[in-house]
Chain A
Amino acid sequence: MPNTPPTLRRPLVGVLILLALLISPLADAGFVDKSSRLSEFTPHSGPIRLHGVAENFDLYIPLADTSEIKDGWLDLSLSRSIALQAERSSFRIMFNETTLAQIPFNPDQPMAHARLRIPDALWRKGFNKLTLSVIQHYVYRYEDPNAPELWTEIDLYNSSLSYKLAAADQGLRLQDLGGIFSPGIGGQATVLMLSSAAADFSSADAHLPTSLPLLAQALALHRNYAPLNIQHAAWQANTADDRTAFEAGAYHAEAADTAHLLIGTRAELSSVLPNGLLERIQGPFLQLAYTKPPKASAEQPQQVPAARLIVSGNTPEEVIQAAQMLLDTTEGHSTPALPGHFLQPQGRYSFAELGRNTVTLGGAGNKRVGVKLPISGEFHTHESAQAELLLDFAYGAGVGMGSVMSVFLNGEFVHGLKLGQEHGAAFRNYRIELPARKLLPGINTLDFDFTMRPETFPGEYPTMPGSHLLVQILDSSSIRMPKASPLAVLPDLASFSATGFPYIAQSNHAAARLVVTDQALMGAALSLSGKLAQQAQRANTELRVLDQLANPGGNMILLSTPAAMPEELFSEWSAALQRSKRWSLRALNQIRTEGLLSLANASESGIIHEQGLDKQAVMLAMRYPGQMDTHTLTILSADSHALLTQRVQSLLQPQLWNQLHGDLVSWEGLGKPLLGMRVNNFYEVGEQARWDRIMLSLSNNPWYWILALLLSAVLMALLARRYLRRHEAAKLAE
């Protein structure tokens, strides 16, 4: 304020201080400003359109149990048809069934921006329902309720929810872990796992290789499908000061408010935990609590308390037991939140079991009911097989022309039914066959689209409002899965991304390893294991994380820079034929086209790192070389540890993760598309059902099929000719 007169400076400073005090963090102790796009709460990434005379759209906003929220503001960006009548058209926003605002239509302003406050009292823990509804008219009489003029468009990407968020003022118990890592608002998206620098990954009694993946998977499962960024660090604390800092949660200064997880035996933890707490560790030990940050000072602003989970025990075995206990608790608690485990071959599942309770839809317009069908990565059935949907549903009287039900499986139309009975109809076990080839590994969506139209009449009001229309799908509806075998054709990164297969199998707990060539990559590896557990909806207790390649066997994920890539994995590549098979010209050309050079180039001596991958990271899945048993090796690589960690965190985001396909992918950041291709030969995995395996092999290797057939046919032909010649000779001799 260089131009302010000095006499005015003192009172102005005072007012400013007062204002600053009023709006200072002290006034909102512990609350942090946050903002989210509305598109984050729905699969609709862009605008949604509300058609017809009356329609609404529901958004579900989750809120962690362990969080408090206030000062919620909704910013809505919308545009509306210019044909609407101002006095009869309005836009209504409801929050948890309470109307927040009604916005009349202004013909001069078809593009509108609305900002409204959500009263704090309306927020609920768990799920909050935001309803956007419209009443739309364009004429007084003879109105067609389905006229194309009746529309309002809401841009969810540019609409947002801003709020202040704080941890709930409550003590934490272990069961609050679900709230801490909730996928909703207030849930922790990052966790820092801390272990002692003295603890190793290679000794026989090391607990970290087992316990870390268990914990990573357990915490990730709490997040449901939301990514969990896991960081890993080792503490070196030896002094009382360090212990105090640890107690204050300030050990990892740049992530002081991040949830922490301390893992170690009682002895390992003795350097960082107070004696009182250590004395409580008498066996497998789990504790969840907030850290106690030091009070604000001139140098240090007040820190937000962070949740801290301690996993410990007297011995390494007890640490693992504690981790396993956490996982068991997680799986037990989280199951209801998940859509259900994978559907089993020949199993019959009611909609209730699939998480879809009886639903009744009312009114005219387009309605959609979805059911999720989780399919394992090792669910193999032949292409012509059918799943049987036995639908129990009904629709009420008074439906008009154009009322239909369309059934879509993964967005593909599979069945249609005209709803044409004037007095309504009820169906039990209405049979629809779903082609099994359209069921993909991961979550499949079975959608029932209802277009409900009221009857039309000649005259001034040609249609009824349609409020009498209803359709009901009962939770007794069921789906019967076809016969299938636990077999899969690999490598397939699409299946890997959708189900975590083959690293987490549905049929058993197969041994699998996460190997990092440097501990700096441990966090990325653990994040990946958590993601796989999320996709599989279960954890693999036989998953181990290692910091060096040892004891080859089982499926393996390797995180490494190209320079540190273990050569023994590629010893087979010395043969030129193998090399060309592994790295096809197509793949190399494609990568070069993108301005890169290959991750590795094989030579007589193994892998030679010629040039860097630049900003790209690469992921390659293939049959584990040099093993008798069929296992899968997946390699993730980037030029540096930091870059690879960063790229893995990007990859775990749905935008990139859902794009995984083929067996070789390269990616850069979230804003750029993932490049995928197929360069390796297929192979089959699965341990059961020999016949099914033979069938799958024949299907994948038709030349064997032809060979077997020709062998049979030639033999039959030779024997038939022999018989025919004898018969003919006998006939001619008559």
Chain B
Amino acid sequence: MKQLLARLQGPAANWLLVPFIPVFLFLVFFPADASAQLLVASSLLLLMWYGMTATEGPRGQLFRILVLIIGAYITLRYIAWRGMYTISAAEWSVLLMALALYLAEIYSSTIHLLGCLVNVSPLKRRLLSLADLPSDTVLPSVDVLVPSYNEDPEMLEITLRAALQLNYPREKLAVYLLDDGGTDQKLSNPDPRLAEQARQRRISLQALCERVGAHYLTRPRNEHAKAGNLNHALQFVHGDLIAVLDADHVPTVDFLNHTVPWMVRDEDVFLVQTPHFMINPDPIDRNLLRSFRRMPSENEMFYSTIQRGLDFWSASFFCGSAALLRRRHLDEVGGISGDSITEDAETAYQLHSKGYRSIYVDKPMVAGLAPETFTAFVTQRMRWAQGMIQILLLKRPFFDNGLNWHQRLGYMSTILFWLFPFARTVFLLAPLAYLYFGAQIYNATLPEIIAYTLPHLIASYMVSSMLFGRTRWPLISELYELMQSLFSLMAIIQVFINPRKPSFMVTPKGDTMEDDFISPLSKPFYILFVLMSLGFLFGLEKLINDPMTREMTMIVLLWNAFNFVTVVAALGALFERRQTREAPRIPVNETGYILHDEQQLPCEITDLSAHGCRLLCKDASVLPVGQNLQLQSYSQALGHKVILPAMIRAVRQKSYGCEYGLQFQLDSEALRNQAVAFAFGDTKRWEFFQMRRSRPMPFGKAARIILSLIWYPITLHTRFVYQTLMERVARSGLKESTHA
């Protein structure tokens, strides 16, 4: 076969597929006995398992493709069987529910198969740097634009300082702060307090820019949100390239070093996108999973796998920040697009449509902040969901002749993914329809479920594990999707009703929380908790009193149990934990010295920010709180030692030494720049941190972790509700005694 293929050149070999595609399709659709199906599915699963173990071998890619094809076959066969034989109902209402469930399954399978296609061969580009360019290359000028709306100036200062320290010729680099919080419109707010706040913000940020060497830009009116802000700035900047950084996105010093060469090499490249590396856990991780140091963050699957997959198919897109854009191309499409509230993806789509190319550099060079609260998290995701559906409805990328077929599929994969709230909600409620109302929305026998459904689930899991195993733990996607789905569903429906209605909502970043509290968005999850708990009771009653449907009831109860575990875990994530630190500390593994009293004590820095750090000193002597000292370490970003003055804010004695919390005492611009470069300037640190978390997690272990977590939220919520009640009782008692 191989020799035959080698002989056939060009598209002729593809004709070999012609007789086999009908065979494949026939094998998808032909009806068979459940026992035969089970035998075939089991054999195929075994083959998949073997194939997965062989993906690291010399023919790894072939086995990878084979696993994907067999997995796709099992899924397609399941969907075909479901559609042809399991949807029937005596009543319209039940039929509608059954169709909704089937539609949700078709959707999930479509996304799964598109995911397989997109990620079949994620592109691993070599790393280019400016040194790779010919010596006579004239470097393009770069304008770094940092749009801001209401972010903390301290946060902006770090971003601006980091941007100004980028390794790039100074004369070719300009940094702009685009302040939308100090616009003329804001200054003339009818509310004098708000107007004054805006004025103060403008003054302080202008001073900040002047202090650090950046340019301050604002505009008359807050039109078209971030896209409008950037487009306004484009009138005043004239660089060849535009680097966009969100207010909380701090670049490493080599960001331009590794992105600009792609622009220089090919004039058709309109975008060089890099990953967003999150230095703090998102609320679900922080409140429930608490695995920030060992579990890949939620966006890692997208940036480490999917964007590379999209890049392979020339469909990697602009993610709003941490990216370099060519000014000329932007001008061709009238700047950043603003028809949708995901201006980034829309702009990329328009330029792809014009035949320009995008590059994805899979190297974490921009560190950002994940939303701190669940509300902020949901706000961000609702915007993404709405924006993507706006693109689907307003731009219809699948029918765009400017895109080639794989770009269309790539965009459809990206956009359709955001319809998951529909499917997830159906999967949540479907078992309840059976348990409460006895609606037979899945007409299949136990042998059929074992022969068709179970292999489909296992195959889907195996494929996901092969594609994303290193960047996403099992069952985590379900949790994240569940937590977004209820809110995003409503947001999506709004877009379907009126595609132009949604407005840009800025994601709050850098929030602090003085106390623990339950998220105000938790009410739907309480309702689900109660509904599913009652579902168990209904199911048990059905199990005992209705022996004829016992098999189906057992299966539905298992399904409900899975949903229940996810909902309980979600409740845990809704318990917002106290966070007082304004700037998150990044876990690091650096060595240094404490310079104190002419002594040089070796220490290990365990976390770090531009404002302070925590370090571990094994020296027997204990320094007191309030002690001034200096921290000396080597900065990879700057290429030399840094000595930062600091004060001890906390001391904790451990069996193996002493742990100190230091606050930097930075009294000069140079020191502040050094601190920012030391904390955020080193790409290798992010890479090391990312690599340490990137490891496959077996399903059983992930399930054990989730199951071990689900009791915690129940006790946590119960205790919190009890304490709140007690406090109210105590307060009312106090009031009564005061009155008396």
Asked if A721 is at the interface (CB within 8 A of a chain B CB), the reply is yes
Asked if B449 is at the interface (CB within 8 A of a chain A CB), the reply is no
Measured CA separation A23–B176 after assembly (Å): 130
**In the complex, what residues of A have CB within 8 A of residue B36's CB?**
698-700, 702, 705
**In the complex, what residues of B have CB within 8 A of residue A716's CB?**
17, 20-21, 24, 65, 69
Partner of A708, one of B27, B61, B126: B27
Q: Which A-chain residue is minimally distant from B24 (CB atoms)?
A: A712
Interface centre among B47, B69, B445 (most CB of A within 10 A): B69
Q: Which of B1-58 contact A (CB under 8 A)?
A: 1-2, 5, 13-14, 16-17, 20-21, 23-24, 27, 30-34, 36, 39-40, 43-44, 47
Asked if A18 is at the interface (CB within 8 A of a chain B CB), the reply is no
**In the complex, what residues of A have CB within 8 A of residue B39's CB?**
702
**In the complex, what residues of A have CB within 8 A of residue B357's CB?**
734
Per-position contact with A for B442-455: 1 when CB-CB < 8 Å, else 0? Answer: 01010010000000
Q: Which of A216-253 contact B (CB under 8 A)?
A: none
Asked if B164 is at the interface (CB within 8 A of a chain A CB), the reply is no
Q: Which A-chain residue is minimally distant from B311 (CB atoms)?
A: A731
Tell whether A728 pairs with B31 under 8 Å between CB atoms, given A715-B17, A721-B61.
no
Q: Which of B339-362 contact A (CB under 8 A)?
A: 357
Indicate if the CB atoms of A712 and B90 lie closer than 8 Å: no
Measured CA separation A253–B443 after assembly (Å): 64
Asked if B150 is at the interface (CB within 8 A of a chain A CB), the reply is no
Indicate if the CB atoms of A719 and B88 lie closer than 8 Å: no
Interface centre among A695, A698, A713, A718 (most CB of B within 10 A): A713
Indicate if the CB atoms of B548 and A384 lie closer than 8 Å: no
Partner of A699, one of B24, B32, B86: B32
Measured CA separation A714–B40 after assembly (Å): 16
Indicate if the CB atoms of A712 and B61 lie closer than 8 Å: no
Measured CA separation A562–B16 after assembly (Å): 57
Asked if A709 is at the interface (CB within 8 A of a chain B CB), the reply is yes
**In the complex, what residues of B have CB within 8 A of residue A341's CB?**
none
Indicate if the CB atoms of A382 and B32 lie closer than 8 Å: yes
At the interface with chain B, which of A49-57, A429-437, A620-628? A429-437
Tell whether A717 pairs with B65 under 8 Å between CB atoms, given A706-B40, A709-B44, A709-B73.
yes
Partner of B312, one of A413, A712, A727: A727
Q: Which A-chain residue is minimally distant from B25 (CB atoms)?
A: A712
Measured CA separation A389–B120 after assembly (Å): 47
Query: Distance in Å from the Cβ of B735 to the closest Cβ of chain A?
Result: 52
Partner of B31, one of A385, A415, A430, A725: A385
Q: Which A-chain residue is minimally distant from B70 (CB atoms)?
A: A713
Query: Distance in Å from the Cβ of A159 to the closest Cβ of chain B?
Result: 33
Q: Which of B414-472 contact A (CB under 8 A)?
A: 443, 445, 448
Asked if A586 is at the interface (CB within 8 A of a chain B CB), the reply is no
Interface centre among B17, B33, B357 (most CB of A within 10 A): B33
Measured CA separation A698–B23 after assembly (Å): 12
Query: Distance in Å from the Cβ of A433 to the closest Cβ of chain B?
Result: 5
Measured CA separation A345–B200 after assembly (Å): 83
Per-position contact with B for A409-421: 1 when CB-CB < 8 Å, else 0? Answer: 0000101110000
Asked if B81 is at the interface (CB within 8 A of a chain A CB), the reply is yes
Indicate if the CB atoms of B23 and A708 lie closer than 8 Å: yes
Indicate if the CB atoms of B66 and A713 lie closer than 8 Å: yes
Measured CA separation A52–B421 after assembly (Å): 54
Asked if A527 is at the interface (CB within 8 A of a chain B CB), the reply is no
Measured CA separation A647–B548 after assembly (Å): 40
Partner of B1, one of A385, A417, A435, A714: A714
Q: Which A-chain residue is minimally distant from B268 (CB atoms)?
A: A734
- With an 8 Å Cβ cutoff, the count of chain B residues facing the other chain is 50
Asked if A265 is at the interface (CB within 8 A of a chain B CB), the reply is no
Tell whether A713 pairs with B2 under 8 Å between CB atoms, given A433-B443, A705-B32.
no
Query: Distance in Å from the Cβ of B28 to the closest Cβ of chain A?
Result: 9
Indicate if the CB atoms of A386 and B32 lie closer than 8 Å: no
Partner of A386, one of B27, B70, B85, B123: B85
Q: Which B-chain residue is minimally distant from A731 (CB atoms)?
A: B123
Indicate if the CB atoms of B40 and A705 lie closer than 8 Å: yes
Asked if A732 is at the interface (CB within 8 A of a chain B CB), the reply is yes
Indicate if the CB atoms of B1 and A715 lie closer than 8 Å: yes
Indicate if the CB atoms of A383 and B32 lie closer than 8 Å: yes
**In the complex, what residues of A have CB within 8 A of residue B16's CB?**
715, 719
Per-position contact with A for B78-90: 1 when CB-CB < 8 Å, else 0? Answer: 0001001110101
Asked if B725 is at the interface (CB within 8 A of a chain A CB), the reply is no
Indicate if the CB atoms of B32 and A709 lie closer than 8 Å: no
Q: Which B-chain residue is minimally distant from A383 (CB atoms)?
A: B33
Q: Which of B570-587 contact A (CB under 8 A)?
A: none
Asked if A711 is at the interface (CB within 8 A of a chain B CB), the reply is yes
Measured CA separation A431–B95 after assembly (Å): 12
Query: Distance in Å from the Cβ of A429 to the closest Cβ of chain B?
Result: 11
Tell whether A709 pairs with B27 under 8 Å between CB atoms, given A699-B36, A714-B66, A720-B65.
yes
Indicate if the CB atoms of A705 and B27 lie closer than 8 Å: yes
**In the complex, what residues of A have CB within 8 A of residue B1's CB?**
714-715, 718
**In the complex, what residues of B have CB within 8 A of residue A17's CB?**
none
Measured CA separation A622–B521 after assembly (Å): 70
Asked if A722 is at the interface (CB within 8 A of a chain B CB), the reply is yes
Indicate if the CB atoms of A431 and B90 lie closer than 8 Å: yes
**In the complex, what residues of A have CB within 8 A of residue B33's CB?**
382-383, 699
Asked if A425 is at the interface (CB within 8 A of a chain B CB), the reply is no
**In the complex, what residues of A have CB within 8 A of residue B86's CB?**
384
Partner of B13, one of A416, A695, A714, A722: A722
Indicate if the CB atoms of B20 and A722 lie closer than 8 Å: no
**In the complex, what residues of B have CB within 8 A of residue A385's CB?**
31, 85
Indicate if the CB atoms of A712 and B66 lie closer than 8 Å: no
Query: Distance in Å from the Cβ of A397 to the closest Cβ of chain B?
Result: 22
**In the complex, what residues of B have CB within 8 A of residue A731's CB?**
123, 311-312, 314
Partner of A384, one of B21, B24, B31: B31
**In the complex, what residues of B have CB within 8 A of residue A433's CB?**
88, 443
Asked if B62 is at the interface (CB within 8 A of a chain A CB), the reply is yes
Partner of B126, one of A705, A728, A732: A732
Asked if A724 is at the interface (CB within 8 A of a chain B CB), the reply is yes
Measured CA separation A714–B47 after assembly (Å): 12
Query: Distance in Å from the Cβ of B80 to the closest Cβ of chain A?
Result: 10
Q: Which of B247-267 contact A (CB under 8 A)?
A: 266
Q: Which A-chain residue is minimally distant from B6 (CB atoms)?
A: A722
Asked if B501 is at the interface (CB within 8 A of a chain A CB), the reply is no
Partner of A383, one of B31, B120, B126: B31
Query: Distance in Å from the Cβ of B639 to the closest Cβ of chain A?
Result: 31
Tell whether A709 pairs with B24 under 8 Å between CB atoms, given A717-B65, A734-B266.
yes
Measured CA separation A695–B28 after assembly (Å): 12
**In the complex, what residues of A have CB within 8 A of residue B13's CB?**
719, 722
**In the complex, what residues of B have CB within 8 A of residue A725's CB?**
61
Tell whether A384 pairs with B81 under 8 Å between CB atoms, given A708-B23, A720-B65, A728-B123.
yes
Indicate if the CB atoms of A717 and B66 lie closer than 8 Å: yes
**In the complex, what residues of A have CB within 8 A of residue B123's CB?**
728, 731-732
**In the complex, what residues of A have CB within 8 A of residue B314's CB?**
731
Indicate if the CB atoms of B121 and A706 lie closer than 8 Å: no
Asked if B125 is at the interface (CB within 8 A of a chain A CB), the reply is yes
Measured CA separation A562–B120 after assembly (Å): 65
**In the complex, what residues of B have CB within 8 A of residue A705's CB?**
27, 32, 36, 40
Measured CA separation A147–B73 after assembly (Å): 57
**In the complex, what residues of A have CB within 8 A of residue B24's CB?**
709, 712-713, 716
Q: Which B-chain residue is minimally distant from A700 (CB atoms)?
A: B36
Measured CA separation A355–B85 after assembly (Å): 30
Indicate if the CB atoms of B121 and A724 lie closer than 8 Å: yes
Measured CA separation A417–B47 after assembly (Å): 45
Query: Distance in Å from the Cβ of A707 to the closest Cβ of chain B?
Result: 10
**In the complex, what residues of B have CB within 8 A of residue A382's CB?**
30-33
Can you list 12 A-B pairs, Cβ within 8 angstroms, ordered by A?
A413-B548, A416-B548, A698-B27, A698-B32, A699-B36, A717-B65, A717-B69, A719-B16, A722-B13, A724-B65, A727-B312, A728-B312
Nearest 3 pairs of A and B residues by beta carbon: A382-B31, A384-B85, A699-B32
Contacts A694-B30, A734-B357 known; 4 new A-B pairs at CB < 8 A:
A433-B88, A695-B30, A706-B43, A715-B16
